[in-house]
Amino acid sequence: MTEPTRPMRRQDIRRENEKAILLAAEKVFAEAGFGGATMQLIADLAGLPKANLHYYFATKEELYRSVVQNIFEIWLQAANCFDAARGPVDGISAYIDAKMEISRRHPDGSKVWASEVMHGAPVLQDYMESTLREWTDGRVEIIRRWIEEGKMDPVDPRHLLYMLWATTQHYADFGHQIETLNGGKSLSDRQWREAKEHIKRVILTGIGAQPA
């Protein structure tokens, strides 16, 4: 019916194909892990012949690396919430919201990231030792300041960060478990809202930073 249209420019072709491949790869890596994923499966999901994948990404490792780096970018962007905040209530609330939104919108990416870390971060070790460490140290300093200013109880900033990561990431990585316990249905809008509110309430109350 509709004229197929395909006078695509070179640039577009490259961009679209890479995008399709990365999306397919993210899903397959998330579902099967690096070792269990096959280039053939990724190719099928992306709607391309396998050899075409190797035209854009020379090796499976390279493709995987690209996927993981993409996630890491998204992950780091959620950090901005923290900086702009004037206190723990604003900052931590915004961060929880942002990370929960990632868990909801990019569950596959979250799983790939979790898998990568669980297996000892073979491709992201350098990032963890540089970017992630800097990011973490910066937020630890912010939290420390909040504590000094009496805006929250004196809890260990690092363990607090781990708790934030853990609780939010859990809804992506263990989403299948949660769904199963939810009667086999994925969480509704309301349930996601409740999850966010629960986390914010418990943690903010727990660190003595409840809004006036």
Partner DNA sequence: CTGAAAGCTGACCATACGGTCAGGATGCAA
Partner DNA sequence: TTGCATCCTGACCGTATGGTCAGCTTTCAG
Binding residues (CB under 7 A) for DNA: these are: 6-11, 13-14, 17, 37-40, 48-52, 54-56, 58-61
Residue 76, contacted partner among a second copy, DNA, none, CB below 5-8 A by kind: none
Considering the complex, state which of residue 57 and residue 171 has its C-beta at the smaller distance from a second copy: 171
Reduced to 3 states (helix: H, G, I; strand: E, B; else coil), residue 21 is helix
* 97 lies in the site for a second copy, by CB under 8 A: no
Sequence-distant (6+) residues with CB within 8 A of 169 are 99, 103, 110, 114
Considering the complex, state which of residue 12 and residue 31 has its C-beta at the smaller distance from a second copy: 31
Query: Residue 151: how many CB atoms within 10 A of its CB?
Result: 17
Sequence-distant (6+) residues with CB within 8 A of 92 are 85, 164, 200, 203, 204, 209
Between CA 144 and CA 187, with CA 208 as vertex, the angle to 5 degrees is 105
Residues that bind a second copy (CB under 8 A): 30-37, 111, 114-115, 117-121, 125, 128-129, 132-133, 136, 153, 155-156, 158-160, 162-163, 165-167, 169-171, 173-174, 176-178, 180-181, 194-195, 198-199, 201-208
